[in-house]
Amino acid sequence: MHIGILGGGQLAMMMIQMSRKYNFDFIVVDPSDNPPASKYARHIKSNYNDKNTLNLLINECDVITIDFENVPADALKYLEGKIKVYPNSVSVEVCQDRLKEKNLFQEIGIPTTQYKKINSEEDLISAIGEIGNDSILKSRKFGYDGKNQISMDNCTPENAWLKSSGVEAILEKKVNFKTEVSLIGVKTEEKKTFFYPLVENFHQNGILNSSIAPYENKVLQKQAENYHNLITDKLNYIGVFVIEFFINEDNDLIANEMAPRVHNSGHWTNEGADISQFEAHIMAITNLEIKSISISGYSGMVNILSKMPNEQKLINNSSYNLYDYGKSERENRKLGHITCVKDNRNDLIENINDIKSMLI
């Protein structure tokens, strides 16, 4: 079987690596010269909406997927009807736009923080009057890893609107939360969904720093799974789908955002589950049967940002698994990650803290 991936980053790379046993052939499309996945698959350097490239994928592939949500939805629409495309263009279009995400959450009864659409400085002034200054102005698009977000605590509407460059945005009331969690689920063509446990996530400067699984709360796990099913049913979704939540002081789930792809908070599944999120996604989009997914022990992940650490120190420690994406160093760029698995949660947290100390 031939699989096309729009996007050749580390997520595409791990989808290919973690599904080697199936002997699939992969083509990755990416406009950069040497994306991480190009080391493991045929790489076509091209814009995502180039018609010649899309026609090549139609002719040579059996199914198309993505490794990040900012692939042009129009490219997926062009492919649909001619070849299987998972996720579908509607799902990607919704997840590309914070307003559409929030509106969908609200439409199907999933709690969110208070928010307002912002298209002008006047809109922002009016929204602050309703929501208050304890809020964040976020661009509707291209706002991942804390980008394009302005806290209104110490910023006037005029300055915030100037800083935002006047792009379409939303104003969100800040959530007073205890912690942040994500739910990773994989939905098959037979409409069965297999869930990983809730993952607790910790951020720095808006970028995921570390994750610990499982976050053990049976009530919230079931509630999150119900929310996940509502969304994937509505979107007619196939593959891995992720929802990020805040847990507020009343122990309620507040939906933050969602991702139509494998996710950074699921890197721990490579060692911590019998089927990783990457393998599960490929199995789902190629209609391979998934009988069950199970985890063992407690698993954690730490992102490597900006600069690679002393690899020898990590390689010599059998407790850790180092993933190097092969990227050039750059401020706040995700260069790799480290995972570990322990039988005891306290031991895992100790290991995670040791890893973080090595990355300073």
Torsion of CA 288, 294, 296, 297, to 10 degrees: 130
Q: Where does CATH 3.30.1490.20 sit in the chain?
A: 114-173
Token readout for 337 is 């990650």
- The pLDDT, as a whole number, for residue 7 is 98
Amino acid at site 125: I
Angle CA 50–42–90, to nearest 5: 45
- What is the torsional sign of CA 292, 296, 300, 304? negative
- The pLDDT, as a whole number, for residue 213 is 97
- The pLDDT, as a whole number, for residue 313 is 65
Q: Helix and strand tally (H, E) in the chain? A: 12, 18
Amino acid at site 149: Q
Element at 93 (helix H, strand E) = helix 89-95
Q: In terms of residues, how long is the chain?
A: 360
Query: Cβ neighbours of residue 358 under 8 Å, at least 6 residues apart?
Result: 309, 310, 313, 314
- Tokens 């031939």, located at residue: 2
CATH no., domain 114-173: 3.30.1490.20
- The pLDDT, as a whole number, for residue 311 is 64
Strand order in the sheet with 2-6: 42-45, 25-30, 2-6, 63-66, 84-85
| Separation CA 73–CA 224 (nearest Å) | 27
Integer Rg of the chain from CA: 20
Element at 87 (helix H, strand E) = none
Q: Taking Cα atoms as reference points, which of 33, 47, 50, 43 lies closest to residue 5?
A: 43
**Residue spans of the chain under pLDDT 50:** none
- The pLDDT, as a whole number, for residue 309 is 81
What secondary structure letter does DSSP report for 22? Answer: G
CATH level 2 (architecture), domain 2-85? 3-Layer(aba) Sandwich (3.40)
Q: How far is CA 50 from CA 54, 70, 72, 75, 79, in A?
A: 6, 15, 11, 8, 11
- What is the torsional sign of CA 355, 356, 357, 360? positive
Q: Where does CATH 3.30.470.20 sit in the chain?
A: 177-358
Q: Three-class SS of residue 137?
A: strand
50, 66 contact by CB (below 8 A):
no
Q: Where does CATH 3.40.50.20 sit in the chain?
A: 2-85
Angle CA 186–257–64, to nearest 5: 45
- DSSP β-ladder status, 177-187 and 193-195: antiparallel
What secondary structure letter does DSSP report for 20? Answer: G
| Separation CA 35–CA 12 (nearest Å) | 9
What secondary structure letter does DSSP report for 286? Answer: T
> pLDDT, tens digit, for every residue of 283-293?
999 999 999 99
| Separation CA 271–CA 297 (nearest Å) | 10
| Separation CA 145–CA 130 (nearest Å) | 27
CATH no., domain 177-358: 3.30.470.20
| Separation CA 244–CA 254 (nearest Å) | 9
- The pLDDT, as a whole number, for residue 317 is 66
